[in-house]
Structure 1
Amino acid sequence: MPQTTPPAGPTRAIPVRTLLTLALLSAIAPLATDMYLPGLPQVGVDLAADDALVQLTLMTFMLGLAAGQLAIGPLSDGLGRRRPLLAGTVLLAAAGLACALAPSITVLVVARFLQGFTGGIGVVLARAVIADRTSGDRAARLFSIMMIITGVAPVVAPLVGGALVGPIGWRGVFYVLTGLAVLMLLCAWRFVPESLPTARRHPVEPRAVGRSIGAVLTTRVYLGYAATFAAAFGALFGYISASPFILQDIMGYSPGVFSLLFALNAVGLTGANAVNSRLIGRFRPHTLLSLGVWSLVAVSATMLAVVLADFDARWPLLAVMFLLTCSIGFIFGNATGLALDAVRTRAGTGSAVLGALQFTVGAVAAPVVGLGGGATAMPMAITVAVSACCSAAAFSTTVSRRGRRRALTRG
């Protein structure tokens, strides 16, 4: 029978099967993006759309993820986590089916927005469940472990997508995603209990929801870590959305080779998260986050230099792409844990704002990297560099605020 009894308190341990389910729910973004990346050129041919319109399906998916999280986050602080999670996953399956049946690029763009919106419900509630039960170093470690599990998705997804695009086409990929949504629903129903006791819920009223969002947005330390996270995601998504065209159209790799290279970079992200989770306890999450942020800045500067130098060899750019994903592995888990720890009493709203910032930035990055028309890597390099600098600026501001708060405490 499904578990429905609320846990005794916010520090109760999270069973492995529950953590695996939460990771699967969080994996909708890489799964729904990376599985059909090898088929992007085919989408353009089948639906008579240019590269910019095809990349718009990535943008609307990211906007949907942002909107879905903003809608459900504050509501879940009042309604609880379980019921919205189950309802959202049912709608996710329906949206995947609409993508598979889309007769035109316009319909696909709209269906992708709906797929993102409903997928965002699972993403925000997965983070909220962990924040309901843990805090501090333990929360950062669990977020990092969950991202290791989630990191399997960008490794497997392009490989599966590359293998499926040939025999079943990009529409078949969306049928597979629909099936995965059904699996997510079954796992959530069986293994994810309610994590927010009634006593800790906030009223579900427009004014109360507005106050909840306002309270989160006026917590400056939270905003600093959230902006650090979101800007780093902009760098990652700039690479993700540009890589199919750079590796296939510019470098001339086949969809299969592209999938292997993309999976290798995802291994870098997953491996860095694994190292990060092992180091938490020996080093504070803030220290490890600093390592990730400044490594990202150095890697982005190197990428820009490589593209400007216009090397004939492919390997310098491929190596920098790998290092980019490795540096981000030290950012996501630590920034998420530190941000949500600053707004523990409103974890659903905090998770929603974090996700909305994340995927809004991703939505902006997707069309920007397409401005070069698939003929140059320069838009990607510029997007990554600007995003890295924004992440560093947000982190530096947060460091200054932490320093001032400590000084006031000592005084």
Structure 2
Amino acid sequence: MPPSLLRTAVILALLSMVGPFAIDMFLPAMPQIAADFAVPETAVQNTITFYFLAFGVAQLIYGPWADMAGRKRPIYVGLIIFAIGSAAASVAGSIETLIAARFVQGLGGAAVMVVPRAIIRDMYTGPEATRLMALIMLVISVSPMLAPLAGAGVVALGGWRAVFAVLTGAALLCLSLAALAQPETLHPDKRVPVNLRALMAGARVLFRAPVFLGLTFIGAFGMASFFVFISFAPFVYVEEFGLTPTGFSLYFAVNALGFFGASQLAGPLSTRFGPQRVMLWGTIGFAGFTGLLLVFAFAGLAGLAVITACLFFGNAFMGLVIPTSMVIALDDHGDIAGLASSLGGTLQMLVGGVMVVIAGPFFDGTAQPMIAMIAICAWVALGLALITLRRVPSPA
């Protein structure tokens, strides 16, 4: 692998880790926050839902802005906003203030999700882009495997407020990394002046592209299943299965390991068998294991070991789908890669937030509602794959 590809992957992955860390490091603190503010679990889940909503909507701003002003300036602004939201969350005096601070966090964190995707499209296409996306996910995999453990340790030492103090410092460190180590990848000659007419014209192109929309929503429902899991698992694992925050973090890491480990196979498998076939395999496996887990749940057999095993393999198959769908969705839209990336990210975040909201009223502290919503997301993704992948042209 060329050193330049590896260096780019590490830099972009470290920047992209800011958003996931804001979620994963926060998870072990959720039961403590509910107890400290004396609020129901659904109120604390809103801190994740509003983060996702802000994270999704803000991508509509950062993408076009990155096409107009280059890739670095939106990253700077996003990290500064994220740091402000993190600092506000660390001193929040009520659940409402915490939810608002998380919303601000999401507004900033969106920049370091959408802009790195556009940077990848600036530099590479096809299997090479898929390998780079998979490499980024490998580095990001440190987040769901280590961030909850780090969060549990921080909570044990300084309480849940210390988590947000750490996130503030991480944002400032990433700001320095972006300024010193990441070059600008969008040449001034390729920058697109952004106005409402151009934005609407680009959006019309994307909304009229069934392949782009289909691939985006396949990824969206795959990610939505993970959003449902991270919203409800802290309470299920602690209350139903009696795990400590550290114990929950370890089980969470096992589930995440399946996703990010398999994502490293997406590039080589796409090169050998074609991305359409890899995505089809991935969605079939994802739907199969989550459907099996749902059967176990209704049969009363969904213990902690069964849930962990089925989600491990289900998430592994999803790991083949997400990076591949992201790359193929942008392939035909290089001239508006920033807008396409931001619109795709927005739709994915909104779908994830909506599925969490839909699942909320059915949550009773047990695993069954969580498993049911995860399975629904997986089967919707499979249905979309069966419809969409027939329209994707095979690579020469």
TM-score when scaled to structure 1? 0.92
Residue 361 (structure 1) aligned with residue 351 (structure 2): yes
Once residues 374 and 36 of structure 1 are traced to their aligned partners in structure 2, the CA distance between those partners, rounded to angstroms, is 22
Q: 1:227 matched to which residue of 2?
A: 217
- Do the aligned partners of 1:219 and 1:342 also contact (CA within 8 Å) in 2? no
Q: 1:7 matched to which residue of 2?
A: none
Once residues 4 and 333 of structure 2 are traced to their aligned partners in structure 1, the CA distance between those partners, rounded to angstroms, is 20
- Do the aligned partners of 1:147 and 1:270 also contact (CA within 8 Å) in 2? yes
Once residues 114 and 3 of structure 2 are traced to their aligned partners in structure 1, the CA distance between those partners, rounded to angstroms, is 20
- 3-state SS in 1 of match to 2:320: coil
Once residues 19 and 351 of structure 2 are traced to their aligned partners in structure 1, the CA distance between those partners, rounded to angstroms, is 14
Once residues 156 and 374 of structure 1 are traced to their aligned partners in structure 2, the CA distance between those partners, rounded to angstroms, is 28
Residue 286 (structure 1) aligned with residue 276 (structure 2): yes
Q: 2:124 matched to which residue of 1?
A: 134
- Give, in angstroms, the shift of residue 144 of structure 1: 1.2
- Give, in angstroms, the shift of residue 55 of structure 1: 0.1
- 3-state SS in 2 of match to 1:330: helix
Once residues 199 and 302 of structure 2 are traced to their aligned partners in structure 1, the CA distance between those partners, rounded to angstroms, is 55
Residue 327 (structure 1) aligned with residue 317 (structure 2): yes
Q: 2:152 matched to which residue of 1?
A: 162
- Give, in angstroms, the shift of residue 222 of structure 1: 1.2
- 3-state SS in 1 of match to 2:110: helix
1:44-63 → structure 2 map (5 Å cutoff): 44-63=34-53
- Shifted more, 236-245 versus 254-263: the winner is 236-245
- Give, in angstroms, the shift of residue 373 of structure 1: 4.1
Q: 1:318 matched to which residue of 2?
A: 308
- Give, in angstroms, the shift of residue 30 of structure 1: 2.0
Once residues 267 and 311 of structure 2 are traced to their aligned partners in structure 1, the CA distance between those partners, rounded to angstroms, is 22
- Unaligned runs of at least 5 residues, structure 1: 1-11, 407-411
Seen in structure 2, the aligned counterparts of structure 1 residues 261 and 23 have a Cα distance that, compared at 3 Å, is same
Once residues 267 and 312 of structure 1 are traced to their aligned partners in structure 2, the CA distance between those partners, rounded to angstroms, is 20
Q: Counterpart of 2:92 in structure 1: which amino acid?
A: A
Once residues 374 and 88 of structure 2 are traced to their aligned partners in structure 1, the CA distance between those partners, rounded to angstroms, is 32
Q: 1:111 matched to which residue of 2?
A: 101
RMSD: 1.9
- Unaligned runs of at least 5 residues, structure 2: none
Once residues 364 and 36 of structure 2 are traced to their aligned partners in structure 1, the CA distance between those partners, rounded to angstroms, is 18
Seen in structure 2, the aligned counterparts of structure 1 residues 18 and 140 have a Cα distance that, compared at 3 Å, is closer
- Shifted more, 196-205 versus 243-252: the winner is 196-205
Once residues 291 and 211 of structure 1 are traced to their aligned partners in structure 2, the CA distance between those partners, rounded to angstroms, is 35
Q: 1:344 matched to which residue of 2?
A: 334
- Shifted more, 148-157 versus 236-245: the winner is 236-245
Match for 1:71 among 56, 61, 71? 61
- 3-state SS in 1 of match to 2:361: coil
Q: 2:74 matched to which residue of 1?
A: 84
- Give, in angstroms, the shift of residue 286 of structure 1: 2.0
Q: Counterpart of 2:335 in structure 1: which amino acid?
A: T
Q: 1:266 matched to which residue of 2?
A: 256
Aligned residues: 395
- Do the aligned partners of 2:217 and 2:381 also contact (CA within 8 Å) in 1? yes
Q: Counterpart of 1:259 in structure 2: which amino acid?
A: S
- Give, in angstroms, the shift of residue 106 of structure 1: 0.5
Seen in structure 2, the aligned counterparts of structure 1 residues 298 and 312 have a Cα distance that, compared at 3 Å, is closer
Q: 1:3 matched to which residue of 2?
A: none
Cα distance per residue 1:158-196 (max 9 Å; x no partner): 110111111111110011111110111111111211111
